[in-house]
Homo-oligomer: A and B are copies of this chain.
Amino acid sequence: MPVPSTAGRLLIACPDARGIVAAVAGFISEHGGNLLDAEQHTDHEHGEFVMRVVFDPSGCDPDDRMFEGAWARLVQRHRMRWRIRWSHVRKRMAILVGRQPHCLQELLWRVGTGELGAEIVFVASNHPDLRETVEHAGIPFHHHPIEDGPGAQARQEADLVARVDAADVDLVVLARYMRVLGPAMLDGRAERIINIHHSFLPAFAGGDPYRQAYDRGVKLIGATSHYVTEVLDDGPIIAQDVTTVDHHDSVADLRRRGRDLERLVLARAVAAHCEDRILVTGGKTVVFR
């Protein structure tokens, strides 16, 4: 039995009520689609229902127009927030980096092997250091330095925003970009910008978390990937992981060991986004399997 070459991914959130699964599964079935995977969950504390349905549209058009008419009435009745995405449409990703290559390289690899189901439209940085790495992979690199003088950072960010807008980007990944983004970039891009923070948030938010972790003497260090919001290091968490450390580890050791965490946690978060497995509700993510 072959794996279908395209699949619809339908994400739904609405107040909990009877019959939603039956209604959604029935709708897809009636339109000739075949459910491949469905995961739903009810948050009893908030009375909210969330669902992700993956279906083979072979009997119907892989077309957003399927979700008009009868679907619109279902949406209205259940007051659904929803979106449909098709697996054959690859996400368009821009990556912002600083000087450190490891997170960038991890994404270049995974896009290169095809496992991410995404394409990197461009990489931009306020430093020129990683140009060669990026261009060798056949991807455009744009250097957006931050000049001296008043307003320089705002101008640089405005240029970056223009570039992101022009490129019709689905996702901006901050792969150790090391700059705080302003409203010009954030506005209208909720749940479209993913950052990797090099600590187990909410512990050690802000600058130099490995130094903070060292000084506190923790026995595990972590990395956290999250959507960016206007509050620093406070957006919805997508993925986290930790690794054990001990008194042998200097701050430099924590940085070195943390790099392995950062790249894997960021890659996991980007994969979840690209596979349409994330739903944000109440400031938190539901990450479907």
Contacts and interface: CB of A to CB of B under 8 A. Distances in A.
B109 A105 contact: yes
| Count of identical protomers in the assembly | 4
Interface stretch (A117-125, A155-163, A169-177, A239-247): A239-247
Interface string A31-60: 000111111111111010010000000010
A22 B18 contact: no
Given A19-B29, A22-B26, A264-B260, A217 B41 contact: no
5 contacts: A37-B40, A45-B251, A50-B247, A217-B285, A219-B287
A217 B18 contact: no
A25 B113 CA distance: 38
Contacts of A264: 260
Given A1-B47, A220-B242, A38 B21 contact: yes
Contacts of A41: 37, 247-248
A65 interface: no
A138 interface: no
Contacts of A105: 109
Contacts of A102: 109, 113
A218 interface: yes
A247 B13 CA distance: 13
Interface string A196-228: 000011111000000000001111101000000
Interface in A7-22: 16, 18-22
A28 B22 contact: yes
A35 B21 contact: yes
Interface of A: 1-3, 16, 18-23, 25-26, 28-30, 34-45, 47, 50, 59, 102, 105, 109, 113, 115, 136, 200-204, 216-220, 222, 236-242, 246-248, 250-251, 256, 260, 264, 283-287, 289
B247 A218 contact: no
A201 B16 CA distance: 35
Contacts of A30: 22
Given A35-B40, A264-B260, A247 B286 contact: yes
Residue among A1, A59, A113, A241 with the highest chain B CB neighbour number at 10 A: A1
Contacts of A40: 35, 37-38
A50 B241 CA distance: 30
Given A201-B203, A204-B202, A242-B242, A3 B44 contact: yes
